[in-house]
Amino acid sequence: MLDIKFIKENPDLIKDAARKKHIQFDVDELLKVEEQRVELLQVVESHRAKQNKITDQISQTTDQTEKQRLIEEMRTFKEDAKKNEETLKEVIKEWQLLMLHVPNIPDVSVPEGKTDEDNQEIRNWGEKPEFNFEPKDHIELMEKLDMADFERGSKVSGFRGYFLKNDGALLSFALWNFFLDNISRKGYTPLMAPSIVKKETLIGTGFIPQHEEDLYKIKEGHYLSGTGEVPTMGYFMDEVLKKEDLPQKFITFSPCFREEAGSHGRDVKGLVRVHEFFKLEQVIISEADHEQSVNLHEEITANVEELMKALNIPYRVVVNAGGDLGIGQVKKYDIEAWVPSQNKYRETHSASYFHDFQTRRLNIRYKDESGKMHYAHSLNNTAVATPRFLVALIENNQQEDGSIKIPVALQKYLGKDTIS
């Protein structure tokens, strides 16, 4: 959500934001409704002011006849206002719905483009492994080593179901601990967050109304969150924070659930795209300062790159094109790990910042030194998402005999140097 004043003063910026993000939004329609809203508001408010005045008179009048007369007067006076009050309510409803669809302004450095194919690589790291044998994909590798069971996964859970078994399970725990350890050490507060979340948190973070179809709805008003970002942002919903307590940095662990609506033909096998997975997510609530947001965005990206390097997984960082940004994102980097079996980089992490888009919807504010209220800024990035991350880890470290070499940094977390 953006400030309506800002929208009124900069309609062209909104138009351009919608264009760049390839989002349909009619700013003029909103401005028309806004005009109606203010106009009606003034009529209704002046009527209410009069009403309040008479009410005061009634309470102060000692003359009983006069009192009765005023009360009679109020009865008819109230009737007159009813219609305007009701119209105003409807206009506000319409206004609120439109406001939820106003896209946030993408940063000037965000490249033009419609889809993730237009994302631009800004750097890459690591040597793509050269195998002197035919590399296998993670499915084959994991099944051979009894690390995963996909057949029973779909028997029990259905499409995209999976079991992780033996070292497949242990490797997941090792990764979680590795990332949690290293990132919490940087001052991020470990948090285990609920996955069952209320609708407000999803509206607040921008997943509803835009992506409701990708959420599992479990009962009226309750959903399974697709990311720890949602409950972590909800953590401070409707709160006023102290400036000196910012930034708040979290490393959140949570199960994540995604319908994957509209992606039925993609990544149908294996662990790349599943309905339920686990994620450690970095979430930051910071001061309302663009420069600080930018710096923290680089920080949460660097946190991951550092650990990718420690795990010796070749990756690249792309800056996402306008069309690949969510409605609230100002800028986004994806970190993509090299996947040998597919001979391409696949997204394993996604780092974005939102300015006050989410905090405005969630009503997360802080007071500065002069006592002025501000909506905070928010950012987030994946730390590690399993089982998808296993794909890159396993495939890049496979040996000719089908065993998996464990990167040195991870060995102490798994307790061995090879899976065989």
Partner RNA sequence: GGAGAGAUGGCUGAGUGGUCGAAAGCGCAUCCCUGCUAAGGAUGUAAGGGUUUACGCCCUUCGAGGGUUCGAAUCCCUCUCUCUCCGCCA
Specify whether 200 is catalytic. Answer: no
Distance CA(265)–CA(331), nearest Å, equals 28
5 lies in the binding site for RNA (CB under 7 A): yes
Tell me how far the alpha carbon of residue 238 is from its chain's centroid: 18
377 within 8 A of 286, measured Cβ to Cβ: yes
Does the footprint of RNA cover residue 96 (CB under 7 A)? no
> Which residue lies nearer to RNA by CB, 108 or 373?
373
> Which tokens in the block code for residue 238?
């409707």
Site string for RNA, 63-92 (x = CB under 7 A): --------x--xx--x----------x---
Binding of RNA at residue 31 (CB under 7 A)?
A: no
Catalytic annotation on 350? yes
Taking the C-alpha atoms of residue 168 and residue 82, their distance in angstroms, rounded to an integer, is 65
Is residue 411 a contact point for RNA (CB under 7 A)?
no
DSSP letters for 69-99: HHHHHHHHHHHHHHHHHHHHHHHHHHHHHHH
Report DSSP state, residue 324: G
> Is 258 annotated as catalytic?
yes
Q: Which of 6, 9, 32, 48 binds RNA (CB under 7 A)?
A: 48
3-state secondary structure at position 316: strand
Identify the active-site residue in 229, 254, 258, 361: 258
The answer to whether 20 and 322 are in contact (CB under 8 A) is yes
- Looking at 341, 350, 352, 378, which residue is catalytic? 350
Please, what is the minimum distance in Å from the beta carbon of residue 228 to RNA?
Answer: 19
Does position 38 bind RNA by CB under 7 A? yes
SS3 192: strand
The residue among 77 and 163 lying less far from RNA, judged by its C-beta, is 77
Q: Does 4 bind RNA (CB under 7 A)?
A: yes
**Is 59 among the residues that bind RNA (CB under 7 A)?**
yes
Which of 287, 338, 269, 285 lies closest to 309 in space, CA to CA?
338
Distance CA 332, CA 293 (A): 12
Of residues 52, 115, 189, 295, which one binds RNA by CB under 7 A? 52
- Which residue, chain included where needed, has tokens 């099944």? 143
Helices 11-21 and 27-60, axial angle in degrees (round to 10)? 130
Q: Which of 156, 240, 261, 408 binds RNA (CB under 7 A)?
A: 240
Question: Given the complex with RNA, which of 59 and 343 has the nearer CB atom?
Answer: 59
Q: Which residues contact RNA (rule: CB under 7 A)?
A: 3-5, 38, 41-42, 44-46, 48-49, 51-55, 58-59, 71, 74-75, 78, 89, 240, 365, 371, 373
- Catalytic machinery residues: 258, 273, 347, 350, 388
